[in-house]
Structure 1
Amino acid sequence: MTVDQPAGERAGAPPAPNPNDATVASFGYPQELKRTLRFFSLFAISFSIVSISTGIFLNYGFAINQFGGASIWTWPIAAVGQIVMALLIAELSTKIPLAGYAYQWGARLVGSGYGWYTGFFGLLYMSITGGAIILLGATPLLFEAMGLTPPSGVVLTVAIVILLFTIVVNIVGVQLAARVNNTAVVAEIIGTVLLAVTVIVAFGLYTGTGGGSVANLTNGTGTAGSGIGHFVLAGLLGIYTMVGFELSADLTEEAVDSQTAVPRGVLVGVIGSAVLGMLALICFTVAMPDLGAAQASSAPIVTIAEFYLPTAVVKVFIVVVAFSMIALVVANQAAQARLLYSMGRDDMLPFSRHFRLVNPRTQTPLRALVIGGIVSVAFMIYGFLQTDSFTTLVGATSIAPYLVYLLIVGSYMRRRPTLAAAPGAFNLGWWGVPLMVVGLVWIVTALLILTIPPDFHGAVKVVAGAAVLAVLWHVLVLRGRIARGEAGVARFTDSSTGR
């Protein structure tokens, strides 16, 4: 992230007031968080949260077992759907530029009760994601690079330590978290894209027998069965990966120029991820020497790469990929804490006073970071204890964000005509309505894919169980607080001011 301060501030002069602070004040909040994030920082958050490395390394094996090499053509379908979502979110981020994006958008477009559910599912997504990525991705890859196969209990212990490390990085301050995420952009490109390009070049130079083939791109032979249903299931590859790009909007109160930098960061993050991810998938699939061996491997990308490259070289790439996954979780935990902070300052959570506290030295919501980290560890342990950790955790981290998208787009479609465009900010104009229709169709389709197949029923139980807790809190406690004016936000009443 770019965290440079103006010359006057470096010299000890009082910082000039940021015009975006007045926007925050117009919504009824003081500016408490430190504005240091510029465009590249926000792009880095979106790009590293999407993390094509994580999505491809975690889900490529699942996809090719469903529909062979041809499964990668589900990626551009998901990419188009998510780019539509990114366009809508980029516009909305300029109209309600507040931390706690999911909660604030839902609450101010419809009402505080509605905002509770959008915020809750956003928290659920972020709370599960951190543990899932570390447990299923980064930790196994690190052991793979070291050539070790430790007991599952050791994997869990190391995963917990790594997750706690990501919390410490955020506690130190947003600047350190920013630098980690800036580096993660390079790690993503080196760890996945450069590896893929290196593999395809080695494939082109390969003169032995049993190499890859362009025919792999149309080979729909899966081990799980055959037919269009398995192609649809393979869509998890893109559906799971291309989410989270909106989390840069969650740090909008820490952006120096939120009205232009946030929407640009969201859009460039998801479009860049879509293009580079497709490039990597094509390279790996064409170079795949043996579909059966790749399908049987617990790490098919590693299996493909080691066919052409020295093991030592592949291990270096694996370490870089693992780092990019850890950086993803650093950004994820930062966004989770900001959402907790935003909901806490409106007294929407149990023990809200703890979540809304900002550390005066680091200007970060320290208690929200710690409590959010504990919740993430709990979900990690829960997933570890399940028979199928992969579909339970990965499936749940896919369902939750699409529920957030559904709630946000549904409410925005109803309220958009009454909201004035922010001067000079990103605006879809008349394209907004057709994009919303396309977006809703895409979201519903993705949710059907993620909930109907038996493979994901464990994930559905996690989300449904959490939703029951959300309803109980709302009905038994929160609804009364909101009715008495003790919690929540005011609805929009003036489209010219956004209040």
Structure 2
Amino acid sequence: MSAPDEAGYATAFPRVLRRFALFAIAFSVVSITTGIFVNYAYGLTTLGPAAVWLWPVAAVGQVLVVLVLAELAGHMPLAGANYQWSARLVNTGFGYTVGALGLLYGAVGLPGIALVGLAPLAATVVGLDAADPLTLLVIAVLALVVAFVVNIVRVQWAARVNNLAVFAEIVGTVVLSVLLLALWATHRGSTPDGGHGLAFLTTANPGTPLADGIVGGALIGIFTLVGFEAAADMAEEAVDARRTVPRAMIAAAVISGVLGMVALIGFTVAIPDLGAVEASPVPLAAIAEFWLGPALTAVFLIIVVFSMFALLVVAAASNSRLLFAMARDGLLPGSGALRRVNGRTATPVVALVTSLVVCLVLLAYGTLDGAAFTILVGATALVPYLIYLLTLGGYLARRRRLRALGAGSFSLGRAALPVAGLAMVWLVAVVAALTLPEAFRAADYVVLGGLALTGLWYVAVLRRRLRDGTAGLPARSSGRPEQEMETA
């Protein structure tokens, strides 16, 4: 085992991920194909076609967030990114809370994508009954197992899947939407509504209160444009991480924002019959099938399924690195096993298997009680924004500490406080939108329940471990021990 680095850790992973692979990881987690496909119906039915103009609002807000996180990634390129940043800026207890929210997000989000998103589409593509719970369960289990096996075998396999996913995302959203837009422009008179104009993009549903419509329309972007920090979760496996990781995060956020807007405009303008599309369980498929026919639409659905699978692959990798990072600091039950990295595959096998088991348990629960599982999945919309909010709060409170944490390749300089301040305003607005409405109240209770369990473990076990030095961040190259950090 190598000597400790400047962060106080012995090197655990080989550095094999280069710039494009890191970009692919971040881009695949954001997954505009998955996000737009799953969330488009909600925005369309609440606000109407005008919902597309709230996408750039979310994109700008998230670019502000990613700029701050990129600065942190450049200074602290460590696995379990948000946990590490929060712990080193504030203290381990604060970082533990942020990390626990990240584990909740991964534990529910992965089976949610597999069961609610990937499984019905995959069943439809292969001609199975997409309404049969057993069929959906089998497909979801297979998808999760294969995604985790890819990660167990070697991280390069996961990187190759995500490299392909970049091109699938572009073909499945941008190319398709531009094609639909071109078909609409040349054959618009053949549509049931007689061919609407570009002013259609400003149409709002008159029956929805404006405030509810704005929140609903914004959720297309809010639900989709998250997860770009997955590249930072893989930082200890990145080549020249201080430079490549921040650039990958920023590029993924900006390119996803731009391409997502292009896709939304193309799909929305090409709506042939607004009433029929709103009534469809899969609006984007209904739009595609009108213009392309069932055969080419099936190809489109296959691309969407692959994008969702790639999202599972990289999310499994990211979640396991968070488990590994927190276990390395002794914060979790079974930390000794969870922090092991297999010498042959160079992957955290125990962390990956543990994450898979948790996902499968929640998947079984979701199959038995679909209504409760829907609430759990709904909570995952709020959790990443709570993580961002807490991380940026730590950044604003302790930014001066960055200099003591090592030189970073990316700095906001004098723009740091204005950018972080605007990002905080955005995050507060999003968290309010995802917690205050009555429709999200059940999901709020799930998050509060998760935080309560986190608190019980902290009070019962972790607080003592931190006090006696058997858990927490290692002494860093500056020689400042963790116990000093806890009292700072």
Normalised by the length of structure 1, the TM-score is: 0.91
Alignment match, 1:187? 168
Paired residues for 1:424-443 under 5 Å: 425-443=409-427
Q: Does 1:129 align with 2:109?
A: yes
Alignment match, 1:291? 274
**For the residues of structure 2 that align with 1:275 and 1:98, how far apart are their CA atoms?**
29
**For the residues of structure 1 that align with 2:171 and 2:105, how far apart are their CA atoms?**
27
* Structure 2 residue corresponding to 1:337, chosen from 306, 313, 320: 320
Paired residues for 1:78-227 under 5 Å: 78-150=58-130, 151-206=132-187, 207-210=189-192, 211-221=195-205, 225-227=208-210
Residue 230 of structure 1 deviates from its aligned partner by 2.0
Unaligned runs of 5+ in 1: 1-20
User: Does the 8 Å CA contact 1:109/1:492 hold for their aligned counterparts?
Assistant: no
Alignment match, 1:260? 243
User: Does the 8 Å CA contact 1:49/1:332 hold for their aligned counterparts?
Assistant: yes
User: Does the 8 Å CA contact 1:102/1:404 hold for their aligned counterparts?
Assistant: yes
User: Does the 8 Å CA contact 2:30/2:226 hold for their aligned counterparts?
Assistant: yes
Alignment match, 2:342? 359
**For the residues of structure 2 that align with 1:222 and 1:58, how far apart are their CA atoms?**
24
**For the residues of structure 1 that align with 2:294 and 2:333, how far apart are their CA atoms?**
51
Of stretches 199-208 and 185-194 in structure 1, the one that deviates more from structure 2 is 199-208
Residue 391 of structure 1 deviates from its aligned partner by 5.3
Residue 472 of structure 1 deviates from its aligned partner by 0.4
User: Does the 8 Å CA contact 2:7/2:476 hold for their aligned counterparts?
Assistant: no
AA aligned opposite 1:375: V
**For the residues of structure 1 that align with 2:450 and 2:352, how far apart are their CA atoms?**
20
AA aligned opposite 2:152: I
Alignment match, 1:392? 375
User: Does the 8 Å CA contact 1:173/1:362 hold for their aligned counterparts?
Assistant: yes
**For the residues of structure 1 that align with 2:200 and 2:102, how far apart are their CA atoms?**
38
Residue 495 of structure 1 deviates from its aligned partner by 12
SS class of match (1:309): helix
AA aligned opposite 2:100: F
User: Does the 8 Å CA contact 1:346/1:487 hold for their aligned counterparts?
Assistant: yes
Residue 466 of structure 1 deviates from its aligned partner by 1.2
Alignment match, 2:311? 328
Of stretches 396-405 and 296-305 in structure 1, the one that deviates more from structure 2 is 396-405
Alignment match, 1:276? 259
Question: 1:275-329 CA distances to partner (integer Å, 9 max, x unpaired)?
Answer: 0001000011111111111111110000011111121011001101110110011
User: Does the 8 Å CA contact 1:142/1:322 hold for their aligned counterparts?
Assistant: yes
Q: 1:341/1:423 Cα in 2 relative to 1: closer, same or farther (>3 Å)? A: closer
Alignment match, 1:474? 458
Normalised by the length of structure 2, the TM-score is: 0.93
Question: 1:31-81 CA distances to partner (integer Å, 9 max, x unpaired)?
Answer: 011110011011001100000011111000011111111112221111111
Aligned residues: percent identity? 45
SS class of match (1:268): helix
Question: 1:346-383 CA distances to partner (integer Å, 9 max, x unpaired)?
Answer: 11000111110110101100010010111122333344
User: Does the 8 Å CA contact 1:83/1:270 hold for their aligned counterparts?
Assistant: yes
Q: Aligned residues, how many?
A: 478
**For the residues of structure 1 that align with 2:373 and 2:51, how far apart are their CA atoms?**
19
User: Does the 8 Å CA contact 2:235/2:241 hold for their aligned counterparts?
Assistant: yes
Residue 424 of structure 1 deviates from its aligned partner by 6.6
Residue 388 of structure 1 deviates from its aligned partner by 4.3
User: Does the 8 Å CA contact 2:9/2:474 hold for their aligned counterparts?
Assistant: no
Alignment match, 2:468? 484
Alignment match, 2:11? 31
* Structure 2 residue corresponding to 1:250, chosen from 201, 212, 233: 233
User: Does the 8 Å CA contact 1:110/1:491 hold for their aligned counterparts?
Assistant: no
Residue 157 of structure 1 deviates from its aligned partner by 2.2
Residue 384 of structure 1 deviates from its aligned partner by 4.1
Residue 385 of structure 1 deviates from its aligned partner by 4.4
Residue 392 of structure 1 deviates from its aligned partner by 2.2
Q: 1:491/1:212 Cα in 2 relative to 1: closer, same or farther (>3 Å)? A: farther
Paired residues for 1:9-88 under 5 Å: 25-88=5-68
Residue 149 of structure 1 deviates from its aligned partner by 2.6
User: Does the 8 Å CA contact 1:202/1:309 hold for their aligned counterparts?
Assistant: no
**For the residues of structure 2 that align with 1:334 and 1:136, how far apart are their CA atoms?**
21
Of stretches 190-199 and 77-86 in structure 1, the one that deviates more from structure 2 is 190-199
Of stretches 140-149 and 171-180 in structure 1, the one that deviates more from structure 2 is 140-149
Q: Does 1:465 align with 2:442?
A: no
**For the residues of structure 2 that align with 1:460 and 1:95, how far apart are their CA atoms?**
33
Of stretches 325-334 and 69-78 in structure 1, the one that deviates more from structure 2 is 69-78
AA aligned opposite 2:142: V
AA aligned opposite 2:56: P
Q: 1:62/1:391 Cα in 2 relative to 1: closer, same or farther (>3 Å)? A: farther
Q: 1:63/1:391 Cα in 2 relative to 1: closer, same or farther (>3 Å)? A: farther
CA-based RMSD of the aligned residues comes to 2.3
User: Does the 8 Å CA contact 2:76/2:406 hold for their aligned counterparts?
Assistant: no
Q: 1:168/1:494 Cα in 2 relative to 1: closer, same or farther (>3 Å)? A: same
**For the residues of structure 1 that align with 2:137 and 2:196, how far apart are their CA atoms?**
36
